[in-house]
Amino acid sequence: MSTPKLSARPALLFDLDGTLVDSVYQHVLSWSDALESEGLHLSIWRIHRRIGMSGGLFLKALDRELGTSLTEPQADRLRQAHAAALLGRLDQVRPLPGARELLAALSSMHVPWAIATSGASITARPTLALLGIPESTPVVTRDQVAYAKPNPDLFLAAAERLGVPPGDCFVVGDSIWDLLAAQRAGALSVGVLSGGYGQEELERAGAYRVYDDPADLLAHLDELGIRAAG
Amino acid sequence: MSTPKLSARPALLFDLDGTLVDSVYQHVLSWSDALESEGLHLSIWRIHRRIGMSGGLFLKALDRELGTSLTEPQADRLRQAHAAALLGRLDQVRPLPGARELLAALSSMHVPWAIATSGASITARPTLALLGIPESTPVVTRDQVAYAKPNPDLFLAAAERLGVPPGDCFVVGDSIWDLLAAQRAGALSVGVLSGGYGQEELERAGAYRVYDDPADLLAHLDELGIRAAG
């Protein structure tokens, strides 16, 4: 018998923006504002398709799409302008339906879970606060690893915090960068539509299964073979 | 020989928001603001997937998704709050790359074209102004037909304005509601990704061909068999 892909007790590694909190569209327009403040214009759908990837890679993609070559001080100003614009929109951000309930259910089933986000601590912390999760929750932010998504580092670090091999984890994410990073971490992945990607895009990026949002995932945990500890 | 699907000189019927102007994300957050002002919360991706459809049908879908039963005065307040929020964001709205050039190229090739939008005149007019098109451009807005998309009325009226049978038209749109309405109008449709839908979603809704945005469509007019009048 070959080694199964997941043990009988998989852990879950969650992305944050678009997966647990309804913040993707605010991120998108905040990047658009930041670019405009530097006199740069990129179509908003192209920004949307880059949310969740490393900020550094986002800026490289921007250079390619705009034919620019951003300087390091410009890149820094863009990151700061994005964070400032986002902080101004945080009062509009809500947890996604079922997010709190899903995390509470996993905890009560003794299923290990963690959060791994390409976001910096400064924007991630106020968003995490919306979820009402314990202080002890393992959370890995951009500042804590060398490379963000689609590199696997965030998910590898999150699995390590849980003491679970990455191959025993499901990554749950809304963007193709989550799903590509999951493949590189050797984990299976579950897509959610709540970040605004279409189902087929997520499947083509390797999603093992796709649900609407955390509430829909919670209602179908059986499909992932996730059970309360016996 | 059977009747061909399109004559040798097809006309183009354009959607406006997300197809010619980069306004979908502003519409999305304006609906979110309007709902919040009535104490209603709907995930933002679900609003995104409804943009471009008739406002009346949008509100019916909302009733289903929220389990509410909106009264007519509530629906009116929502429409007004959306329009007010959108007007406050219009300074952020830009034409999509290649939109002006595409329309100018079609005109210089003597290819008939028109615009058909589910938007009301009050929000469509300032958006149209960004395109710098002649006053004489045939434009059909929500106010001028009985039913908006996915009903075919807007595209049928636009084809009639051009004096071209609907079956001799390509509908160009960013949302599945455009593409479904095109099918009901008996027209072929071309999808653009610039409204934030994925390519596969547009293909599954009937798109004959999908391009990134107006600039990409302009660069590939040959693929649609669109030529300058000989």
Among A92-101, A130-139, A147-156, B119-128, the range scoring the smallest mean pLDDT is B119-128
Cα separation, B100 vs B96, whole angstroms:
8
| Token reading at B190 | 């071309």
Sign of the Cα pseudo-torsion (A185, A190, A195, A201, in order): positive
Pairing of β B188-192 and β B113-116: unpaired
A64-103, pLDDT tens digit by residue? Answer: 988 889 999 999 999 999 999 999 999 999 999 999 999 9
User: Which is more confidently placed, A56 or B182?
Assistant: B182
Nearest chain A Cα to B199, which residue? A201
Task: Using a CB–CB cutoff of 8 Å, tell me whether B191 touches chain A.
Answer: no
> Could A97 and B48 be called an inter-chain contact, meaning their C-beta atoms sit closer than 8 Å?
no
> Which of A32, A194, A201 has the CB atom closest to B45's CB atom?
A194
Instruction: With beta carbons under 8 A apart, name residues in chain A contacting B48.
Output: 25, 196
Sign of the Cα pseudo-torsion (B34, B35, B36, B38, in order): positive
> Which of B41, B94, B200 has the CB atom closest to A200's CB atom?
B200
- pTM here is 0.94
Reduced to 3 states, what is the DSSP secondary structure of residue B70?
coil
How does residue B56 score in pLDDT terms, banded at 50, 70 and 90?
confident
Helix (H) or strand (E) holding B204: helix B199-204
Task: Using a CB–CB cutoff of 8 Å, tell me whether B27 touches chain A.
Answer: no
Calculate what percentage of chain B has a pLDDT beyond 90. 85
**A187 contacts A169 by C-beta, under 8 angstroms:** yes
Instruction: With beta carbons under 8 A apart, name residues in chain B contacting A200.
Output: 198, 200-201, 204
> Could A97 and B43 be called an inter-chain contact, meaning their C-beta atoms sit closer than 8 Å?
yes
Q: B100-108 — which CB contacts under 8 Å span 24+ positions?
A: B100/B131, B100/B132, B101/B214, B101/B215, B101/B218, B102/B214, B102/B215, B102/B217, B102/B218, B103/B14, B103/B20, B103/B131, B103/B133, B105/B218, B105/B221, B106/B12, B106/B226, B108/B228
How does residue B4 score in pLDDT terms, banded at 50, 70 and 90?
low
| Token reading at A45 | 């759908």
B68-95, pLDDT tens digit by residue? Answer: 899 999 999 999 999 999 999 999 999 9
How does residue B22 score in pLDDT terms, banded at 50, 70 and 90?
very high
Q: Taking the CB of residue A214, how many other CB atoms lie within 10 A of it?
A: 24
The helix, strand and coil proportions of chain A, stated in percent and rounded to the nearest 5, come to 50, 10, 40
B156-179, pLDDT tens digit by residue? Answer: 999 999 999 999 999 999 999 999
Average pLDDT (A23-46) is 95
Taking chain A, what is the end-to-end CA distance rounded to the nearest angstrom?
24
Please determine, for residue A57, whether its predicted confidence score (pLDDT) is greater than 60. Answer: yes
| Token reading at A63 | 């250079």
- Interface test with chain A among B21, B24, B25, by most A beta carbons within 10 Å: B25
Residue A200 to chain B, least CA–CA distance (Å): 6
pLDDT at A22: 98
Nearest chain A Cα to B176, which residue? A198
Nearest chain B Cα to A27, which residue? B25
> Could A44 and B36 be called an inter-chain contact, meaning their C-beta atoms sit closer than 8 Å?
no
**B189 contacts B178 by C-beta, under 8 angstroms:** yes
Q: Tell me the residue length of chain A.
A: 230
> Could A36 and B92 be called an inter-chain contact, meaning their C-beta atoms sit closer than 8 Å?
yes
Q: Alpha carbon B128 to chain centroid distance?
A: 12
Average pLDDT (A120-146) is 92
Instruction: With beta carbons under 8 A apart, name residues in chain B contacting A42.
Output: none
Q: Taking the CB of residue A17, how many other CB atoms lie within 10 A of it?
A: 26
Closest CA to B147 of B218, B58, B74: B58
B137-163, pLDDT tens digit by residue? Answer: 999 999 999 999 999 999 999 999 999
> Could A213 and B43 be called an inter-chain contact, meaning their C-beta atoms sit closer than 8 Å?
yes
Q: What are phi and psi of B191, to 5 degrees?
A: -95, 150
pLDDT at B132: 93
**A178 contacts A171 by C-beta, under 8 angstroms:** yes
Cβ within 8 Å of residue A66, ≥6 positions away: A40, A42
Please determine, for residue A19, whether its predicted confidence score (pLDDT) is greater than 80. Answer: yes
> Could B198 and A197 be called an inter-chain contact, meaning their C-beta atoms sit closer than 8 Å?
yes
Helix (H) or strand (E) holding B114: strand B113-116
- Interface test with chain B among A28, A29, A37, A43, by most B beta carbons within 10 Å: A43
pLDDT at A129: 94
pLDDT at A78: 94
Instruction: With beta carbons under 8 A apart, name residues in chain A contacting B18.
Output: 45
Instruction: With beta carbons under 8 A apart, name residues in chain A contacting B41.
Output: 94
Average pLDDT (B91-112) is 96
Cα separation, B160 vs B39, whole angstroms:
42
Q: What are phi and psi of A209, to 5 degrees?
A: -160, 150
How does residue A2 score in pLDDT terms, banded at 50, 70 and 90?
low
> Which of B28, B44, B194 has the CB atom closest to A43's CB atom?
B194
Instruction: With beta carbons under 8 A apart, name residues in chain A contacting B35.
Output: none
Residue B97 exposed, middle or buried by CB count within 10 Å (0-12, 13-18, 19+): buried
Reduced to 3 states, what is the DSSP secondary structure of residue B57?
helix
Average pLDDT (A55-71) is 89
How distant, in Å, are the alpha carbons of A154, B19, B196 from that of A28? 21, 18, 11
